[in-house]
Amino acid sequence: MHIKELIELDRRAVVETVRIVTGWDGRGLDRPTPCAGWTLADLLAHVTVQQRGFARAARDERTDLAAWRPVAADDPRTAYREASDDVVAAFATLDSDETPMHLPEVRPEPLPAGIAVSFHLVDNVVHAWDLARSVGDEVHLDDEVLIAGLAVARNVPDDERRDQPGGPFARALPIVAGAGALDETLRRLGRDPQWRAA
Q: Identify residue 103 by its one-letter amino acid code.
A: L
pLDDT at position 119, please? 95
Which residues, including other chains, have CB under 8 Å from residue 171's CB and lie 6 or more apart? Answer: 158, 162, 163, 190
* Banded model confidence at residue 166, pLDDT cuts 50, 70, 90: low
Residue 167 has pLDDT above 90, yes or no: no
In the predicted model, what is the mean pLDDT of the chain?
93
pLDDT at position 100, please? 95
* pTM reported for the whole predicted model: 0.95
Superfamily of domain 3-148, CATH level 4: dinb family like domain (1.20.120.450)
The per-residue pLDDT for range 30-48, each reduced to its tens digit, is: 999 999 889 999 999 999 9
* Banded model confidence at residue 129, pLDDT cuts 50, 70, 90: very high
pLDDT at position 170, please? 86
Q: Identify residue 5 by its one-letter amino acid code.
A: E
The per-residue pLDDT for range 62-96, each reduced to its tens digit, is: 888 878 888 888 999 999 999 999 999 999 999 99
Instruction: Give percent of the chain above pLDDT 70.
Output: 98
